[in-house]
């Protein structure tokens, strides 16, 4: 069951929209923040809140990159691999990260510390290459700086 | 050629170095919200739309549609709510202007929203921001809260009796939600798959109601048009494309960044004078004028004024003004691999031509890059791209086809070199 606080936050999001379903993405984000991912029974609970069939919730979850149906690492590290970042070494950075962490993009380290990934343009092309750790952008990177950032993660 | 640049001016970003400008009091200290107050108190919605039509402000989200004309499509006589949507789903590779406009000038955006909200009779604006933009979302929500507490938004906007609220909605990672009807689907809590048109959003938009969707930067120009007048606005830029825009310059340049310059500024001036040219004394090979969806231009074609009426003659378009520069070491097949990978990953899967075509383009590009391609593969690339263009519900498939067609048009010889050498002949190129 989602917590009382999360349920209250979902209701507040629903109140902002002309139709209940307009708050579905916000609700999924809130629930994912509580559980770390979206377990099937939680998606079913969200479906109940919104008066939807669970399948309707699953298809929305599967459409968007930020929703996860498997447990994730404590931190999301996503390297931008769009054209500008690639021109300035973004894909080299991802290769080094994969070797350093011993996982491929799309995987989580064994200690559950980091889920590594790559993303399309994050809108920081003036500071390429760059990556995103959770909600924070890190710009104008080289390997030394990237390693420091990784080592600083709990 | 109707190309006038009377003086260097930067009105959008003028106060962006001042951190206080992001607060309500700091924005008001620069005269902020005075224009909206005056317009809402003194003008009729018809006058406002007329002024914007005369100003000729073109949308800055990629398509370049006339903003005043778009507002005029909104029905005035219908019962029930209508909506305004601010498209802050900036995701076009090479584009980063809207993020900076939101982070450094959130109240400029809100003032730019209030004027068309009044003109179109919208009671609510949904500000749909891409999920990755957590920091801009935080800054915007703070600005919305401050504006609501300060009587700028709410039941009596700036004391004029007009009621308006702005609701921030965050996306969850999908490029296609930048397409306006994909955005509307997402706003309604669905998969962001674009809608068939007609009906257009002005008739049936968000939640089935009349809706106008504009890009962040488009809104930001609006207060300046009304503050300083149509003649001033039209004195900047070109005859058909007035005003400035934020050119985002990235890739192989000395000084990557945002440059607010008049539309019609030449591409080579932007790259060499403003962004400092290519580093290390290397030569420029090609540049994309407006985000990866727009066909690239080879080095010999960079003397083009950056406005749609001129770029069209060169087979390209202004797009989002995101200029991506590639130096002489760059392998253009690798560029094709990166771009086609993006479109393969982001196709929403709704139309067969796009879902299947984007995958084929990427596979063929990779095969050629890795030395396994044949000359016939080049024809297949052209054939697939040609069958995607103009055949789908939205313009995404066109955007996936155009860069491939431009690469083959301008750099066919590099593709053939790969085929003949059975490997990539550009060992110095960026890592794929």
Q: What's the Cα-to-Cα distance from A37 to each of A32, B93, B175, B252, rounded to whole Å?
A: 5, 28, 22, 39
Given a contact cutoff of 8 angstroms between Cβ atoms, the answer to whether B372 and B381 are in contact is no
Residue B5 predicted with pLDDT over 80: no
User: Within this chain, do residues B59 and B96 fall inside the same structural domain, yes or no?
Assistant: yes
Residues forming beta bridges with residue B259, ordered by sequence position = B247
Residue B225 lies in a domain: yes
Report helix, strand or coil for A142: coil
String of b and e for A82-92 (b: at least 16 CB within 10 Å)?
A: bbbbbbbbbbb
User: Within this chain, do residues B173 and B101 fall inside the same structural domain, yes or no?
Assistant: yes
For residue B158, give every residue at least 6 positions away whose Cβ sits within 8 Å of its Cβ, in sequence order, or none: B33, B36, B37, B40, B41, B114, B151, B152
A141 interfaces chain B, CB cutoff of 8 Å: no
Nearest by CB to B172, from A22, A64, A119: name it.
Answer: A64
Of all residues in chain B, the percent with pLDDT exceeding 90 is 97
B141, two tokens: 């929500």
pLDDT of residue B426: 97
User: Within this chain, do residues B344 and B314 fall inside the same structural domain, yes or no?
Assistant: no
H or E stretch at A125: none
B113, two tokens: 């929203």
Minimal CA separation from B360 to chain A, in Å: 19
Q: Which positions in chain A touch B292 (Cβ < 8 Å)?
A: 82-83
B429 interfaces chain A, CB cutoff of 8 Å: no
Across the interface, whether the CB atoms of B250 and A91 are under 8 A apart is answered no
Q: Which positions in chain A touch B188 (Cβ < 8 Å)?
A: 19, 21-22
User: Within this chain, do residues B338 and B321 fall inside the same structural domain, yes or no?
Assistant: no
Q: How confident is the model at residue B1 (pLDDT cuts 50, 70, 90)?
A: very low
Nearest by CB to B292, from A16, A17, A83: name it.
Answer: A83
In degrees rounded to 5, what are phi and psi of residue B182?
A: -65, -40
pLDDT of residue B388: 97
* Residue ending a domain, choose from B210, B234, B258: B234
pLDDT single digits (tens) B152-179: 999 999 999 999 999 999 999 999 999 9
Q: What's the Cα-to-Cα distance from A15 to each of B189, B220, B370, rounded to whole Å?
A: 14, 28, 54
Given a contact cutoff of 8 angstroms between Cβ atoms, the answer to whether B15 and B105 are in contact is yes
Q: What is A14-82 written as a DSSP string?
A: HHHSSSGGGGHHHHHHHHHHHHSS--HHHHHHHHHHHT--HHHHHHHHHHSTT--SS---SEEEEEE-S
What is the location of CATH 1.10.10.1590 in chain A? 4-63
Q: Which of A10, A19, A25 to mutate to test the interface with B (most CBs of B within 10 A)?
A: A25
Across the interface, whether the CB atoms of A123 and B91 are under 8 A apart is answered yes
pLDDT of residue B77: 81
Report helix, strand or coil for A120: coil
Tokens 């989580």 belong to which residue?
Answer: A108
Nearest by CB to A83, from B94, B132, B190: name it.
Answer: B94
Nearest by CB to A84, from B93, B175, B189: name it.
Answer: B93
Minimal CA separation from B331 to chain A, in Å: 10
Distance CA B125, CA B136 (A): 17
Q: Which positions in chain B touch A66 (Cβ < 8 Å)?
A: 131, 172-173
Question: What CATH code is carried by the domain that includes residue B269?
Answer: 3.10.20.600
Across the interface, whether the CB atoms of A64 and B171 are under 8 A apart is answered yes
Residue B249 lies in a domain: yes
Distance CA B232, CA B128 (A): 31
- What is the C-alpha end-to-end distance of chain A, expressed in Å? 28
User: Within this chain, do residues B37 and B182 fall inside the same structural domain, yes or no?
Assistant: yes
Interface of B with A in 312-341 (CB under 8 A): 322, 324, 326, 330, 334-335, 338-339
Distance CA B242, CA B414 (A): 38
User: Within this chain, do residues B56 and B200 fall inside the same structural domain, yes or no?
Assistant: yes
User: Within this chain, do residues B39 and B166 fall inside the same structural domain, yes or no?
Assistant: yes
User: Within this chain, do residues B337 and B264 fall inside the same structural domain, yes or no?
Assistant: no
Residue B4 predicted with pLDDT over 80: no
Residue B432 lies in a domain: no
The CB-based long-range contact list for B297-302 (8 Å cut-off, 24+ gap) reads B297/B267, B297/B410, B298/B410, B298/B411, B302/B266, B302/B267, B302/B268, B302/B271
pLDDT of residue B224: 98
Given a contact cutoff of 8 angstroms between Cβ atoms, the answer to whether B125 and B117 are in contact is yes
A139 interfaces chain B, CB cutoff of 8 Å: no
* Residue ending a domain, choose from B327, B358, B392: B327
- Closest chain B residue to the Cα of A135, Cα to Cα: B134
B250, two tokens: 């990235």
Minimal CA separation from A151 to chain B, in Å: 23
Distance CA B323, CA A69 (A): 37
Minimal CA separation from A16 to chain B, in Å: 7
Minimal CA separation from A103 to chain B, in Å: 18
Nearest by CB to B189, from A16, A22, A125: name it.
Answer: A22
Given a contact cutoff of 8 angstroms between Cβ atoms, the answer to whether B256 and A127 are in contact is yes
Given a contact cutoff of 8 angstroms between Cβ atoms, the answer to whether B118 and B40 are in contact is yes
- Give chain B's domain count: 3
> Quick check: ipTM above 0.95?
yes
User: Within this chain, do residues B169 and B290 fall inside the same structural domain, yes or no?
Assistant: no
Q: How confident is the model at residue B8 (pLDDT cuts 50, 70, 90)?
A: low
Residue B235 predicted with pLDDT over 70: yes
Q: Which positions in chain A touch B324 (Cβ < 8 Å)?
A: 83-84, 87, 125
Please give the average per-residue pLDDT across B121-147, as a whole number.
98
Distance CA B159, CA B50 (A): 24
Across the interface, whether the CB atoms of A120 and B257 are under 8 A apart is answered no
Distance CA B360, CA B357 (A): 5
- Closest chain B residue to the Cα of A85, Cα to Cα: B251
Q: Which positions in chain A touch B96 (Cβ < 8 Å)?
A: 123-126
CATH entry 2.60.40.10 includes domain A4-63: no
In degrees rounded to 5, what are phi and psi of residue B127?
A: -100, 100
Residue B134 lies in a domain: yes
Q: Which positions in chain B touch A99 (Cβ < 8 Å)?
A: none
pLDDT single digits (tens) B355-376: 999 999 999 999 999 999 999 9
User: Within this chain, do residues B172 and B192 fall inside the same structural domain, yes or no?
Assistant: yes
For residue A15, give every residue at least 6 positions away whose Cβ sits within 8 Å of its Cβ, in sequence order, or none: none
Across the interface, whether the CB atoms of B96 and A81 are under 8 A apart is answered no
Distance CA B346, CA A120 (A): 9
Question: What CATH code is carried by the domain that includes residue B414?
Answer: 1.20.1440.230
Residue B3 predicted with pLDDT over 60: no
B50, two tokens: 């007329």
Q: What is the CATH number of domain A75-151?
A: 3.40.30.10
- Closest chain B residue to the Cα of A25, Cα to Cα: B189
- Closest chain B residue to the Cα of A83, Cα to Cα: B338
User: Within this chain, do residues B158 and B263 fall inside the same structural domain, yes or no?
Assistant: no
**Containing structural domain, residue B39:** 19-234
pLDDT single digits (tens) B209-223: 999 999 999 999 999
Minimal CA separation from A117 to chain B, in Å: 13
User: Within this chain, do residues B46 and B176 fall inside the same structural domain, yes or no?
Assistant: yes
pLDDT 10s digit of each residue in chain A, 154 long? Answer: 899 999 999 999 999 999 999 999 999 999 999 999 999 999 999 999 999 999 999 999 999 999 999 999 999 999 999 999 999 999 999 999 999 999 999 999 999 999 999 999 999 999 999 999 999 999 999 999 999 999 999 9
pLDDT single digits (tens) B50-73: 999 999 999 999 999 999 999 999
pLDDT single digits (tens) B77-128: 888 999 999 999 999 999 999 999 999 999 999 999 999 999 999 999 999 9
pLDDT of residue B2: 38
Q: SS3 letters for chain B?
A: CCECCCCCCCCCCCCCCCHHHHCHHHHHHCCCCHHHHHHHHHCCHHHHHHHHHHHCCECCCCCCCEHHHHHHCCCCCCCCCCEEEEEECCCCCCCCHHHHHHHHCHHHHHHHHHHHHHHHCCCEEEEEECCCCHHHHHHHHHHHHHHHHCCCCECCHHHCCCCEEEEEEECCCCHHHHCHHHHHHHHCCCCCCCCCCCCCCCCCCHHHCCEEEEEHHHHHHHHHHHHHCHHHHHCCEECCCECEEEEEEEECCCCCEEEEEECCCEHHHHHHHHCCCCHHHCCEEEEECCCCCCCCEEHHHCCCECCHHHHHHHCCCCCCCEEEEEECCCCHHHHHHHHHHHHHHHCCCCCHHHHHHHHHHHHHHHHHHCCCCCHHHHHHHHHHHHHHCCCCCCCHHHHHHHHHHHHHHHHHHHHHHHHHHCCCCCCCCCCC
Distance CA B136, CA B88 (A): 10
Across the interface, whether the CB atoms of B96 and A26 are under 8 A apart is answered no
The CB-based long-range contact list for A9-12 (8 Å cut-off, 24+ gap) reads A10/A49
Across the interface, whether the CB atoms of A127 and B256 are under 8 A apart is answered yes
pLDDT of residue B239: 96
Minimal CA separation from B248 to chain A, in Å: 7
* Residue ending a domain, choose from B293, B327, B361: B327
Minimal CA separation from B176 to chain A, in Å: 10
Residue B2 lies in a domain: no
Q: Is B257 left (phi over 0), alpha (psi -120 to 50) or beta?
A: left
Handedness of CA B138, B139, B140, B145 (dihedral sign): positive
């Amino acid at each position: 069951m989602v917590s009382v606080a999360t349920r209250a936050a979902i209701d507040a999001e629903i109140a902002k929209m002309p139709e209940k379903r307009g708050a579905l993405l916000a609700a999924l984000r809130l629930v994912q923040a509580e559980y770390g991912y979206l377990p099937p029974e939680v998606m079913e609970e969200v479906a109940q809140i919104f008066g939807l069939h669970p399948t309707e919730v699953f298809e929305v979850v599967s459409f968007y990159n930020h929703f996860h149906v498997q447990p994730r690492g404590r931190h999301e590290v996503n390297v931008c691999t769009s054209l500008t970042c690639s021109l300035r070494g973004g894909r080299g950075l991802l290769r080094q990260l994969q070797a350093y962490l011993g996982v491929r993009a799309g995987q989580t380290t064994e200690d559950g510390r980091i889920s590594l990934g790559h993303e399309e343009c994050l809108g920081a092309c003036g500071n390429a290459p760059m990556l995103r750790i959770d909600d924070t952008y890190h710009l104008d990177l080289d390997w030394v700086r990237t390693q420091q950032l990784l080592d600083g993660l709990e | 050629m109707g190309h006038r640049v009377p003086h260097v001016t930067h009105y959008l970003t003028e106060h962006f170095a001042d951190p206080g400008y992001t607060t309500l009091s700091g924005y008001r200290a620069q005269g902020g919200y005075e224009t909206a107050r005056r317009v809402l108190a003194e003008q009729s919605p018809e006058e406002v739309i007329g002024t914007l039509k005369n100003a000729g402000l073109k949308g800055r989200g990629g398509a370049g549609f006339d903003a005043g004309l778009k507002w005029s499509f909104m029905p005035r006589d219908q019962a029930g709510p209508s909506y305004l949507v601010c498209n802050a789903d900036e995701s076009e590779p090479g584009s980063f202007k809207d993020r900076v406009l939101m982070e450094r000038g959130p109240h400029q955006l809100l003032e730019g929203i209030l004027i068309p909200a009044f003109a179109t009779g919208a009671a609510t604006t949904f500000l749909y921001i891409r999920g990755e933009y957590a920091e801009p979302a935080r800054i915007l929500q703070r600005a919305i809260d401050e504006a609501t507490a300060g009587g700028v938004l709410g039941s009596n906007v700036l004391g004029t009796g007009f009621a308006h609220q702005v609701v921030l909605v965050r996306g969850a990672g999908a490029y296609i939600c930048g397409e306006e009807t994909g955005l509307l689907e997402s706003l309604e809590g669905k998969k962001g798959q674009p809608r068939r048109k007609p009906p257009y959003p002005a008739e049936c938009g968000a939640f089935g109601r009349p809706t106008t969707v504009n890009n962040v930067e488009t809104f930001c120009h609006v207060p300046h048009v009304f503050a300083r007048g149509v003649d001033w606005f039209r004195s900047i830029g070109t005859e058909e494309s007035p005003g400035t825009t934020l050119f985002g310059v990235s890739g192989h340049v000395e000084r990557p960044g945002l440059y607010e310059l008049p539309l019609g500024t030449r591409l080579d001036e932007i790259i060499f004078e403003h962004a400092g040219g290519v580093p290390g004394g290397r030569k420029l090979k090609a540049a994309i004028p407006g985000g990866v969806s727009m066909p690239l231009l080879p080095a010999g074609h960079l003397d083009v004024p950056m406005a749609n009426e001129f770029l069209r003659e060169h087979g390209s378009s202004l797009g989002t003004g995101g200029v991506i520069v590639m130096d002489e070491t760059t392998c253009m097949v690798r560029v094709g691999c990166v771009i086609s990978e993006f479109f393969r990953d982001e196709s929403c899967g709704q139309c067969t031509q796009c879902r299947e075509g984007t995958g084929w383009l990427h596979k063929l590009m990779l095969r050629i890059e890795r030395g396994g391609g044949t000359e016939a593969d080049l024809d297949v690339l052209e054939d697939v791209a040609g069958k995607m263009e103009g055949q789908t519900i939205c313009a995404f498939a066109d955007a996936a086809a155009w860069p491939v067609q431009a690469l083959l048009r301008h750099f066919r010889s590099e593709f053939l070199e790969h085929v003949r050498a059975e490997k990539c002949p550009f060992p110095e190129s960026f890592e794929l």
